[in-house]
């Protein structure tokens, strides 16, 4: 090899090593409880439909080139009047972060592609501390740079991620640049077709968290599977000093235990407990839990409850429970767009409580961590889900890895939340051998990460005459007979004809109807046979509830859906106007007539369960 080419190869190798992106660390548990510098606020942005800021005109990626520069991530300023620079963040407009771009800028309402975000901030990093740049969610693919250097890339529009920036954070001014791209792709998760708006951008909190050099990076502290008298779990330490003593305290439960972490930083706890006040929707007791080592401590609020199935019953803390639920999208109906703040989230859960719910299905993807913490606090059990939705690329190994990674992140993030009782591996996925393998592997993976909760999915159903058959083979693998059915909307004629139908469910498991419903334009009235009227939706709920109440083993439901939401699949100019109108609340917060039908059913069901006259286990 000629000397010159040898030298250029050497330069290339060195430059590649110097730019290996900061590993995307495993998620730090309860990271928002750390000392943080919030980066929420106005970020400058550049719309880049041709990804001109990422590729040169020969479609070579700037950040993979020898110099690793040239892209918008350099955040360059024009230094000399003769200099050619064709972008300028300082003079670009701004977007609010957190917040999707669609709802902030009219021309971005249907935009799919890349938008560059830039935030300039000052920092004063301290010796002996570590710093992590954390994103609550970016939809869908994010490339992140700090001071012109690539930190890494993340895929998945609803899961948090972080980068260790300890060696890259400057004292003084820093520039963080994010390339956010919400382009839908067949092999992604979700795939190209969904019944929700493809809100793009940095949709959840962004901050820098500070920890000691050696820190508590993860922990799980819950009741053992099926136990009411034993707490178990683990604490994971990271950093140089791993094998340390770890103290776990739950003062209100009279617990203080000291364990030793091994050389990998892992400490296990298992301790008998008595007279715990168990978490439940009626009494959402959360205990203050503190974990400490010689140089770090973290506090959390954790509830303790048991959730198991027994035949056709779901037992919460050993007692039969009926899941009085509703499905919810992560969208503020009043100001269409991803929920932006705790206020948005609290409003949605308060609406669910007004319906007398004790359960919410956070469809169809991981919601904001704050939503799940509010459910803990307000007493609402949670069905959590990843967007393995409809026609996923079942045969693509990368697609499976992506789906499994999103599930792992969801479980890692929310495993200490008592409210979460179900991990769902997907929704309405068409039957095939490759889909069965994909979903079965997901179920196995969930159980390997967390055996303390139920595993489910929204199964497929089919009909033969007036028989609605539920025999999806995936049903054998999960803990619930959980499925969607749209009698009197997509099939079955008008509501009064629904009484002809009955169910043939092949599993001896608790039955949870994960979706039923129909559209109504709020304020549009007519007779109950007139589609889109509130009266049609009201009659649909009456006939659905009558039909479903005949199911032996009915133990819950999450009708579709709490509030009208935006969808590109719903264009009817009179009734939809790009809204899916199956909400019980309109997008203006008005309760439709069907709301009161479901509320009465839940009030009656609550009474029956409290008097144990309904489906109680013998
Ligand atoms: C499906 C799907 C939902 C969708 C609903 C509908 O079951 O799970 O995401 O919005 O039906 O058609 O309204």
- Same-domain check for residues 66 and 208: yes
User: What is residue 106's predicted lDDT score, i.e. its pLDDT?
Assistant: 97
How many angstroms separate the alpha carbon of residue 562 from the centre of ligand 1? 13
Q: Which stretch of DSSP H or E encloses residue 290?
A: strand 287-292
The answer to whether position 3 is within a domain reads no
Is the separation of the CB atoms in 424 and 458 below 8 Å? yes
Does residue 560 line the site of ligand 1, with CB under 6 A?
A: yes
- Same-domain check for residues 118 and 222: no
- Same-domain check for residues 222 and 257: yes
Indicate which CATH number applies to the domain containing 247: 2.60.40.10
Last residue of a domain, one of 185, 212, 239: 212
The answer to whether position 506 is within a domain reads yes
The answer to whether position 391 is within a domain reads yes
- 3-class DSSP state of 81: coil
User: What is residue 20's predicted lDDT score, i.e. its pLDDT?
Assistant: 43
- Same-domain check for residues 316 and 354: yes
How many angstroms separate the alpha carbon of residue 486 from the centre of ligand 1? 9
Tokens for 537, please give them: 């939706």
- Same-domain check for residues 364 and 344: yes
Does residue 580 line the site of ligand 1, with CB under 6 A?
A: yes
- Same-domain check for residues 190 and 279: no
Does residue 429 line the site of ligand 1, with CB under 6 A?
A: no
Tokens for 422, please give them: 């179900």
- Same-domain check for residues 544 and 444: yes
- 3-class DSSP state of 330: coil
Compute the distance between CA of residue 72 and CA of residue 179 in angstroms, rounded to an integer: 9
How many angstroms separate the alpha carbon of residue 195 from the centre of ligand 1? 6
- Same-domain check for residues 207 and 252: no
Q: Which regions in the chain score pLDDT beneath 70? A: 1-25, 612-618
Does residue 576 line the site of ligand 1, with CB under 6 A?
A: no
Does residue 515 line the site of ligand 1, with CB under 6 A?
A: yes
The answer to whether position 10 is within a domain reads no
Is the separation of the CB atoms in 380 and 357 below 8 Å? yes
Name the residue of 515, 561, 583 to mutate for ligand 1: max ligand atoms within 8 A of Cβ. Answer: 515
- Same-domain check for residues 471 and 600: yes
Q: Which atom of ligand 1 is nearest to the CA of 363?
A: 9
Name the residue of 428, 571, 572 to mutate for ligand 1: max ligand atoms within 8 A of Cβ. Answer: 428
Last residue of a domain, one of 251, 280, 305: 305
Tokens for 532, please give them: 């889109």
The answer to whether position 135 is within a domain reads yes
How many angstroms separate the alpha carbon of residue 17 from the centre of ligand 1? 47
Compute the distance between CA of residue 100 and CA of residue 105 in angstroms, rounded to an integer: 9
Does residue 30 line the site of ligand 1, with CB under 6 A?
A: no
Q: Which atom of ligand 1 is nearest to the CA of 484?
A: 7
- Same-domain check for residues 523 and 482: yes
Cis peptide before 251 (omega within 30 of 0): no
How many angstroms separate the alpha carbon of residue 581 from the centre of ligand 1? 11
The answer to whether position 615 is within a domain reads no
- 3-class DSSP state of 42: strand
Torsion of CA 545, 549, 554, 557, to 10 degrees: 10
Q: Which atom of ligand 1 is nearest to the CA of 567?
A: 10
The answer to whether position 617 is within a domain reads no
- Same-domain check for residues 252 and 315: no
Does residue 238 line the site of ligand 1, with CB under 6 A?
A: no
358-389 in b/e burial notation, b at 16+ Cβ within 10 A?
bbbbbbbbbbbbbbbbbbbebbbbbbbbbbbb
User: What is residue 310's predicted lDDT score, i.e. its pLDDT?
Assistant: 97
Nearest CA to ligand 1 atom 12: 195
The answer to whether position 380 is within a domain reads yes
Compute the distance between CA of residue 488 and CA of residue 81 in angstroms, rounded to an integer: 69
Last residue of a domain, one of 305, 336, 361: 305
Q: Which atom of ligand 1 is nearest to the CA of 428?
A: 8
The domain in which residue 108 lies consists of 23-212
Among the listed residues 538, 521, 2, 236, the one whose alpha carbon sits nearest the alpha carbon of residue 529: 538
Does residue 199 line the site of ligand 1, with CB under 6 A?
A: no
Does residue 427 line the site of ligand 1, with CB under 6 A?
A: yes
pLDDT in tens, 32-81: 999 999 999 999 999 999 999 999 999 999 999 999 999 999 999 999 99
Is the separation of the CB atoms in 313 and 617 below 8 Å? yes
How many angstroms separate the alpha carbon of residue 536 from the centre of ligand 1? 18
Is the separation of the CB atoms in 204 and 244 below 8 Å? no
Does residue 537 line the site of ligand 1, with CB under 6 A?
A: no
Compute the distance between CA of residue 316 and CA of residue 320 in angstroms, rounded to an integer: 6
Nearest CA to ligand 1 atom 4: 195
- Same-domain check for residues 473 and 402: yes
Indicate which CATH number applies to the domain containing 468: 3.20.20.80
Among the listed residues 366, 371, 456, 455, the one whose alpha carbon sits nearest the alpha carbon of residue 406: 366
Compute the distance between CA of residue 115 and CA of residue 97 in angstroms, rounded to an integer: 13
- Helix, strand, coil: what percent of the chain each, to 5? 20, 30, 45
Q: Which atom of ligand 1 is nearest to the CA of 389?
A: 8
Compute the distance between CA of residue 153 and CA of residue 133 in angstroms, rounded to an integer: 13
Domains held by the chain: number: 3
Percentage above 90 pLDDT, the chain: 94
Q: Which atom of ligand 1 is nearest to the CA of 517?
A: 13
How many angstroms separate the alpha carbon of residue 483 from the centre of ligand 1? 12
How many angstroms separate the alpha carbon of residue 580 from the centre of ligand 1? 9
User: What is residue 8's predicted lDDT score, i.e. its pLDDT?
Assistant: 53
Does residue 519 line the site of ligand 1, with CB under 6 A?
A: no
Tokens for 212, please give them: 């000691």
Nearest CA to ligand 1 atom 3: 195
pTM of the model: 0.95
How many angstroms separate the alpha carbon of residue 241 from the centre of ligand 1? 50
Residue identified by tokens 């033969």 is 464
Does residue 533 line the site of ligand 1, with CB under 6 A?
A: no
pLDDT in tens, 131-171: 999 999 999 999 999 999 999 999 999 999 999 999 999 99
Does residue 428 line the site of ligand 1, with CB under 6 A?
A: yes
Count the neighbouring beta carbons within 10 Å of the beta carbon of residue 600.
Answer: 14
User: What is residue 19's predicted lDDT score, i.e. its pLDDT?
Assistant: 42
Q: Which atom of ligand 1 is nearest to the CA of 490?
A: 12
């Amino acid at each position: 090899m000629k000397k010159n080419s040898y030298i250029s190869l050497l330069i290339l190798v060195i430059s590649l090593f110097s730019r290996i992106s900061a590993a995307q660390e495993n998620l730090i548990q309860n990271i928002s409880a750390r000392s943080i510098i919030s980066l929420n606020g106005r970020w400058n942005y550049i719309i880049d439909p041709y990804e001109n800021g990422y590729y040169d005109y020969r479609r070579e990626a700037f950040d993979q080139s020898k110099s690793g520069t040239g892209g918008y991530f350099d955040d360059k300023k024009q230094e000399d009047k003769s200099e050619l620079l064709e972008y300028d963040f300082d003079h670009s407009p701004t977007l609010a972060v957190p917040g999707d771009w669609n709802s902030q800028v009219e021309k971005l309402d249907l935009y799919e592609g890349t938008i560059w975000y830039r935030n300039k901030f000052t920092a004063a990093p301290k010796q002996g501390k570590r710093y992590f740049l954390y994103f609550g969610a970016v939809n869908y693919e994010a490339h992140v740079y700090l001071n012109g250097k690539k930190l890494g890339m993340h895929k998945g529009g609803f899961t948090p991620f972080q980068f260790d920036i300890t060696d890259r954070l400057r004292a003084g001014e820093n520039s963080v640049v994010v390339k956010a791209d919400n382009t839908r792709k067949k092999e992604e998760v979700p795939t190209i077709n969904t019944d929700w708006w493809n809100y793009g951008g940095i949709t959840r909190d962004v901050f820098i968290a500070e920890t000691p050099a050696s820190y508590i990076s993860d922990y799980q502290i819950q009741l053992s599977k099926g136990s009411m008298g034993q707490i178990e779990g683990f604490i994971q330490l990271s950093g140089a000093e791993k094998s340390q003593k770890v103290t776990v305290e739950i003062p209100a439960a009279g617990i203080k235990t000291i364990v030793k972490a091994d050389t990998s930083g892992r400490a296990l706890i298992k301790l008998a407990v008595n007279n715990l006040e168990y978490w439940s929707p009626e009494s959402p007791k959360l205990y203050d839990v503190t974990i400490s080592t010689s140089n770090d401590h973290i506090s959390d609020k954790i509830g303790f409850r048991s959730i198991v199935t027994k035949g056709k019953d779901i037992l919460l803390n050993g007692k039969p429970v009926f899941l009085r639920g509703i499905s919810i999208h992560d969208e503020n109906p009043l100001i269409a767009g991803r929920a932006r703040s705790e206020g948005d989230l609290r409003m949605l859960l308060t609406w669910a409580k007004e319906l007398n719910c004790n359960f919410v299905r956070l469809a169809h993807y991981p919601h904001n961590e704050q939503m799940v913490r509010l459910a803990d606090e307000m007493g609402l059990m949670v069905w959590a889900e990843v967007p393995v939705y409809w026609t996923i690329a079942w045969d693509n190994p990368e697609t499976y890895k992506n789906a499994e990674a999103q599930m792992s992140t969801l479980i890692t993030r929310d495993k200490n939340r008592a409210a979460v009782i179900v991990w769902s591996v997907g929704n309405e996925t068409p039957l095939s051998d490759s889909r069965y393998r994909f979903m079965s592997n997901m179920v196995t993976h969930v159980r390997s990460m967390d055996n303390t909760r139920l595993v489910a999915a929204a199964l497929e159903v089919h009909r033969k005459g007036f028989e609605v058959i539920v025999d999806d083979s995936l049903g054998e693998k999960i803990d619930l007979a959980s499925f969607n059915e749209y009698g009197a909307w997509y099939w079955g004629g008008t509501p009064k004809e629904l009484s002809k139908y009955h169910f043939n469910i092949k599993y001896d498991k608790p039955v949870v109807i994960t979706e039923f419903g129909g559209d109504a334009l709020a304020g549009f009235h007519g007779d109950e046979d007139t589609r889109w009227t509130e009266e049609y939706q009201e009659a649909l709920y009456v006939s659905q509830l009558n039909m479903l109440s005949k199911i032996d083993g009915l133990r819950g439901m999450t009708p579709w859906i709490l509030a009208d939401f935006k969808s590109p699949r719903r264009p009817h100019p009179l009734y939809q106007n790009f809204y899916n109108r199956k909400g019980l609340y309109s997008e203006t917060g008005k309760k439709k007539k069907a709301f009161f039908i479901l509320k009465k059913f839940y009030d009656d069901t609550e009474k029956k369960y409290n008097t144990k006259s309904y489906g109680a286990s013998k």
